[in-house]
């Protein structure tokens, strides 16, 4: 068993909140050797510094306002393949640890920068959070009920458009650096990323297949066969019976007459949604899960965070585990020859980390 598909890749993570910890966790899961530089006096984050998002890397604490500690950070960077940072534009430059300084010390370095608005543009130096970034890309407008948009946790801006594309971007730049010997800066912005995630919906809108309003379309809860329904126990089921064959299986499970229903007659959707809601309200969530088990009706129980790890499918695939105490998602995707690690964070002391990295050659 190897250490993962990115074993041997060295990453320096300057501590941050939001997307950077998840991106670093994913890279650690894939086998990267990550040293996280934590700032002296920084208040710990219960999520970013915990055993889940903080897994798989070692941590050293430095005072980046100190010239000596900044020099130490630069020594570590000179022996790294990738840097991850999530500060506002200009912060790392003022510390003497911006891309110019780091690439001068390590020309093959991939310098990954994660911000909400990007390194350039009128809002680049403005504050914001996930809800603000996705608000400007059309994503937030498209999600929620007809009366108002609803923030989809911080999955679209922070994690989908941020962490995932940061991890992909630095990995792509790393391939380039190993081919050409030249590093580069990766400017990952949550606005750019969340806009990219909306590509299909922009395509459907351009083709006339998506109405620019909430709860009025195929995938936004407008269709009665693609939404959630409350059950008798106030728990919910998720219905995703888009294709006609799946829709027919849904009607069969609900004991509704398929001969009287035109699935794609939008004028009939309100009445059909009412019929579905009435039927689902007659039984509990788990009763309905049993009814639809083994069918292609695309009906599943909506599980809570406490329930999800114990579902038979998730247990069979070991989607969740508790390697460091709390239950947590395991590495994804799966690799046949170089599986990810999902290892707990290592509490190695600063002197040991510095010694280990000092003994390695600079990445050139």
Q: Which residues are the active-site residues?
A: 129, 158
Q: How far apart are CA 10 and CA 21, in angstroms?
A: 16
- Write out the DSSP string of 254-280: HT--GGG--TT-GGGHHHHHHHHHHHH
- Phi then psi for residue 20, to 5 deg, are -60, -45
Short-list 245, 304, 297, 307, CA closest to 276? 297
From the CA atom positions of the chain, what is the Rg in Å?
Answer: 24
**Number of helices followed by number of strands (H, E) in the chain:** 13, 11
Q: How far apart are CA 46 and CA 63, in angstroms?
A: 21
Q: Is the peptide bond before 333 cis (omega within 30 degrees of 0)?
A: yes
Question: Tokens in use for 329?
Answer: 């998602």
């Amino acid at each position: 068993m190897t250490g993962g598909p990115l074993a041997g890749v060295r990453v320096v993570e300057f501590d941050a909140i939001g997307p950077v910890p998840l991106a670093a966790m994913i890279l650690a899961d894939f086998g990267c050797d990550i040293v996280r530089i934590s700032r002296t006096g920084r208040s710990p984050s219960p999520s970013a510094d915990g055993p889940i998002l903080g897994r798989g890397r070692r941590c050293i604490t430095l005072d980046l306002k100190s010239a000596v500690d900044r020099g130490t950070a630069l020594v570590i960077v000179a022996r790294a393949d990738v840097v991850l940072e999530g500060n506002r534009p200009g912060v790392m430059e003022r510390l003497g640890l911006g891309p110019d300084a780091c690439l001068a010390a390590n020309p093959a370095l991939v310098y990954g920068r994660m911000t909400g608005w990007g390194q350039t543009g009128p809002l680049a130096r403005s504050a914001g959070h996930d809800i603000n970034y996705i608000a400007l890309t059309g994503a937030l407008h498209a999600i929620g009920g007809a009366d108002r948009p609803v923030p989809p946790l911080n999955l679209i801006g922070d994690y989908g458009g941020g962490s995932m594309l940061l991890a992909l971007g630095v990995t792509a730049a790393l391939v380039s650096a190993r081919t050409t010997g030249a590093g580069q800066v990766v400017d990952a912005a949550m606005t750019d990323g969340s806009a990219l995630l909306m590509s299909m919906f922009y395509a459907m809108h351009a083709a006339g297949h998506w109405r620019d309003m909430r709860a009025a379309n195929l995938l936004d809860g407008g269709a009665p066969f693609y939404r959630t329904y409350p059950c008798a126990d106030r728990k919910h089921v998720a219905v995703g019976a888009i294709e006609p064959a799946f829709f027919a299986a849904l009607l069969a499970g609900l004991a509704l007459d398929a001969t009287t229903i035109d699935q794609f007659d939008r004028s009939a959707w309100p009445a059909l949604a009412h019929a579905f809601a009435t039927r689902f309200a007659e039984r509990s969530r788990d009763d309905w899960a049993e009814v639809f088990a083994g069918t292609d009706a695309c009906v599943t129980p909506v599980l809570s965070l406490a329930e999800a790890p114990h579902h038979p499918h998730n247990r069979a695939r070991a989607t969740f585990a508790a390697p460091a105490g709390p239950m947590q998602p395991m590495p994804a995707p799966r690799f046949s020859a170089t599986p990810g690690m999902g290892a707990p964070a290592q509490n190695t002391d600063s002197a040991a980390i510095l010694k280990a990295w000092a003994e390695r050659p600079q990445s050139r």
